[in-house]
Structure 1
Amino acid sequence: MRFLILLFPFFLFAQQKITPTVIDNRLEKSNALLFEGQTDNMIKLNLSILEDSKRINYPKGKVYACYNLALAFSMQYRYNKSNYYLKLMESEFKNLDDEDEEISMNLLYSMNYKGIKMYDEALKKLRKNIVLANNIKVDSTRYSSNAMTLVEMAKNYIEKKSYDSATYYGKRVIEEVKKPKNLNSGLNTSLKIALLILAEAKVKENKIDSAEFYIKSAQSVLIVLGNNEFRTFKLLGEINEAKKQYDSAIMDYKKAIDLAAKVKNLKKLLELYSLMSGIYEKTGEKDNEKKYALKYNTLNDSLKIIEEANLKDTVDLLVEEKQKPMEDRNNLLLYIIFAAGIVSIIFIFLVNKRIRKKNKILNVKEQETKVLTQKLNVAFEEVILLAKNNDPEFMTRFQEVYPNFFPKLLQIEPQLQNSELKFCALLFLNFSTKDIATYTFVQPQSIQIRKNRLRKRLNISSGEDLYIWMKNVNSN
């Protein structure tokens, strides 16, 4: 017996041997903890996984553990800790041959920004993901990445109370999941959440029939969100409350509260406490109204303290991100100054030698055009993608990239409508009649008629190329 006791440490050591397979199994366990909302246990497990992955230099283990830790801390509203592990993940994922890791990182950054109501910064990260996802070669990965990104865009617009945009992106998720022949669990999850977002948008717009349609569609999706089903019960409660079925609404809200408490979603709990207090006010149950109002006030005070602490840390991160392009611009400025000096010397030399051949002048002009094109193409791919998707963000982004185009058109014809300005923008981007018809869902004949009308409005002669005219407007 004593001999066996002496050998016990050796048995224990053998059981604790760390291999990539062991780490992968523990990562699977982490996913289960996430599903159940056990964020504290998830953090403990992934801290251990991270240390063991460092010990055997396992890139996948390090990257996935950092991401899981960032996600868990984000769910606890500890955005400073979440961002710390995202930065650590960023330094590690270059060693991992996984094309969607940057997309996952941007998704989580966007959640952190949304958490402190910096919606525009969150949307910038998500728009970057749309561009990145188009470069993914594996179809299933590309579809999943696009769907998750579009879901988060819809969530941000719900928070911004831009319900039309939220509806637009929710419907785009539905279109995205139609592309593959078979739906995996990730796509089914995105589909269900998108349908719930659509239902929420319709509840906010007081379109209860539409909300019921989307909630029933969400319930028909063969995927279970576990404790995160609180979203479903919350919406059912709001629908029943709108229909004045208060007893059913209270039951739904209580189910939602139980599930939200299990996953520690404090912000949804806060919203649910407010809904419960409000419905008890309608039913005249003063004691219950005060009970939930007190819960709301207590939790609200706690969240304000958390939000104030997180705001500074996340703003510091944003400042750091902004400084990087500023440094790049400073380097570019020095390069431009140096290049300008060189060009000036060459120009003086050419003047002194009286070498002014037409072909060389044309070459110089071509180079200038290329430089201008390069500057304008910083966000060109994104603008083209928004135009092809008929995205509501297209006009805003186009104006950011080409700020002089619309003002110059309006100087020529101040009465141009927004739809006409958008049409001019598509012509400026060299979209053919067929392309414009496809992306705006109209017949090519209608586009040709619009072109003819536009010529009359802007006094463009029939012999002048309409596309070149649009380009010249921006360059004049």
Structure 2
Amino acid sequence: MAFVLLFFQFIGMAQENTGHIDSLLTVEFNALRQRGEFEKAANLCVDQIKASREIGYDQGVAKGYKQISIALTALGQYQESLRYLALAQNMAITSKNHDLRVRVLSGVANNYLELKLNQKAIEKYDEAILQYKKYRLDNDKLLCVMYMNKSASFAPINIDSVLIYRHKAIKSNPTNPNPYINLAYFYMFKGNNLDSTEHYLKKVQNVMALNPPTKYQESVFLMTYGDFHKKKGDYKAALNYYGQALEISKVIKRVREIGLLYNSISETYDLMGDSEKSSEFHQNYLEVNNSISEEKNRALNLALEQLLEEQESEYRMERRQFLFLITTGIVVLLVLIYLLYRYFDKKRKQKLIEKDLAIRLKEQESNALRERLNDAFNEIVALASENSPFFLARFQEVYPEVFQKLLKINPNLVNTELKLCAMIWFNFSSKEIARFTFVQPKTVQVKKYRLRKKLGIPKSEDLYHWMSSL
């Protein structure tokens, strides 16, 4: 009886802990995000991922990865955001939790949209929306956001599709003012139709009257109204709306919107012929654009790198344990075979059996080693092509002598340079390396040039031949 009571008490505590983690990863995270405190939001997720691991709450870990990716996307760190989404996507819980799976797919699409990989973004939004409908998820806000972002993905491709998906966004969640604001923008700048612009701005006012908007939505609406009046030539009204939007954006710390507003105010003063004011706000715009300091991001990156290192360390430990069990099983099996064989025929063929067994054991070990090396080679190539965070650690496990020799030449090589060395060792071209790491081929060439200098490789020496000869 006492055991039963303890069991139910443990279950209750576990549920309380998971509920607390979920609350922090949603309510508290969203509150920090709305205030523009993305670094704090990311660090909150790091803490909750650790807490989730301690109690074996995989959903909390996967959700934490997904939320970190949102903060990184807001900070413009798209490659790191995609890495965390990949971590979430590779967890078994994500395939079981359909809502989480849809949000992860949508997060990947959002990064592609920010990187202007529009066709890729559309494909991922299609996949996310298909999953949403397949499992009949009931989240109008999520569906509305996906339709809005899919609409934005079509902007440079197909104007008709932009309108189609903005109307779908409204239909999926009529109480959300954002799709109406987007339509107002469309008619203001793409359609050049101020009557339609005004129509949708009034729709926004009606929606906001029934459903009080967030401070962010209010600031975006005021900024849109400012653009509308600037387009009409009513510059004083435009400045009034921009000023109200700016005050709200400062309160909620939306740095991106503050910069946009400074730029819009600067342009408006320029249209009014006030060059002094225009210059003043343009300078403010430039300062805001450069306001994210390296020191601030370094603190965030430190926490995130620590989290990745922990994840990779766990992976290496699990891999070692797995290999130990397999090796032990093989050894035990071989010993049993050897003992049984000796039992049935030890008197007549003892010497012959021992010799034959030794030969066969050596051949098996050699074949197994070759097979493991081939499998490892293919695995590492796949990890490189996916830009997996485990690529570097796996390469070092299989080919430790390569990094040993490189670090002997220059002990100051950092992980990014070692990763480039590994890809060159695999004979990947500059285009392949650029595609795998989401950078331009020119960037890869610059990195190769710097790597030559750090390793003291002469210009006359072929970099690929030098690396393969290590």
Question: Structure 1-normalised TM-score?
Answer: 0.53
Code of the aligned partner of 2:122: L
Q: Name the SS of the counterpart of 2:98 in structure 1.
A: coil
Please say if residues 198 and 214 of structure 1, whose CA atoms lie closer than 8 Å, have aligned partners that are also in contact.
Answer: yes
Kindly provide the CA deviation profile for residues 229-259 of structure 1, in whole angstroms up to 9, marking residues without a partner as x. 3221111001111222211211211233344
The whole-number CA distance in structure 2 between the counterparts of 1:113 and 1:266 is 22
Please say if residues 155 and 197 of structure 1, whose CA atoms lie closer than 8 Å, have aligned partners that are also in contact.
Answer: no
Q: Which residue of 1 aligns with 2:91?
A: 92
Code of the aligned partner of 2:99: D
> 1:155 aligned to 2:152?
yes
Q: Which residue of 1 aligns with 2:265?
A: 276
Q: Which residue of 2 aligns with 1:464?
A: none
Q: Which residue of 2 aligns with 1:202?
A: 187
The whole-number CA distance in structure 1 between the counterparts of 2:220 and 2:44 is 27
Kindly provide the CA deviation profile for residues 77-132 of structure 1, in whole angstroms up to 9, marking residues without a partner as x. 12233222211211225367421222211211122122222222211211222322
**Aligned positions of 1:50-69 closer than 5 A:** 50-69=49-68
Please say if residues 126 and 153 of structure 1, whose CA atoms lie closer than 8 Å, have aligned partners that are also in contact.
Answer: yes
> 1:34 aligned to 2:30?
no
Q: Which residue of 2 aligns with 1:433?
A: none
**Aligned positions of 1:90-169 closer than 5 A:** 90-92=89-91, 94=93, 97-138=96-137, 140-141=138-139, 143-158=140-155, 160=156, 163-169=159-165
Code of the aligned partner of 2:165: Y
Please say if residues 46 and 69 of structure 1, whose CA atoms lie closer than 8 Å, have aligned partners that are also in contact.
Answer: yes
Please say if residues 35 and 253 of structure 2, whose CA atoms lie closer than 8 Å, have aligned partners that are also in contact.
Answer: no
Code of the aligned partner of 1:149: M
Q: Which of the residues 157, 161, 172 maps onto 1:176? A: 172
**Aligned positions of 1:429-440 closer than 5 A:** none
The whole-number CA distance in structure 2 between the counterparts of 1:318 and 1:262 is 44
Code of the aligned partner of 2:268: I
Q: Which residue of 1 aligns with 2:284?
A: 295
Q: Which of the residues 199, 202, 206 maps onto 1:216? A: 202
C-alpha displacement of 1:297: 4.1
Code of the aligned partner of 1:248: A
Q: Which of the residues 206, 222, 226 maps onto 1:233? A: 222
Q: Name the SS of the counterpart of 1:220 in structure 2.
A: helix
The whole-number CA distance in structure 2 between the counterparts of 1:136 and 1:144 is 16
Q: Name the SS of the counterpart of 1:100 in structure 2.
A: helix
The whole-number CA distance in structure 2 between the counterparts of 1:322 and 1:49 is 26
C-alpha displacement of 1:65: 1.4
> 1:23 aligned to 2:32?
no
Q: Name the SS of the counterpart of 1:42 in structure 2.
A: helix
The whole-number CA distance in structure 2 between the counterparts of 1:113 and 1:95 is 20
Kindly provide the CA deviation profile for residues 46-77 of structure 1, in whole angstroms up to 9, marking residues without a partner as x. 11111100111112211221111111111111
Q: Which residue of 2 aligns with 1:444?
A: none
- Percent identity of the aligned residues? 20
Question: Structure 2-normalised TM-score?
Answer: 0.54
The whole-number CA distance in structure 2 between the counterparts of 1:263 and 1:123 is 31
**Aligned positions of 1:75-474 closer than 5 A:** 75-92=74-91, 94=93, 97-138=96-137, 140-141=138-139, 143-158=140-155, 160=156, 163-177=159-173, 188=175, 191-204=176-189, 205-221=191-207, 222-261=211-250, 265-299=254-288, 320=385
Superposed CA RMSD? 3.5
The whole-number CA distance in structure 2 between the counterparts of 1:95 and 1:134 is 17
The whole-number CA distance in structure 2 between the counterparts of 1:96 and 1:117 is 27
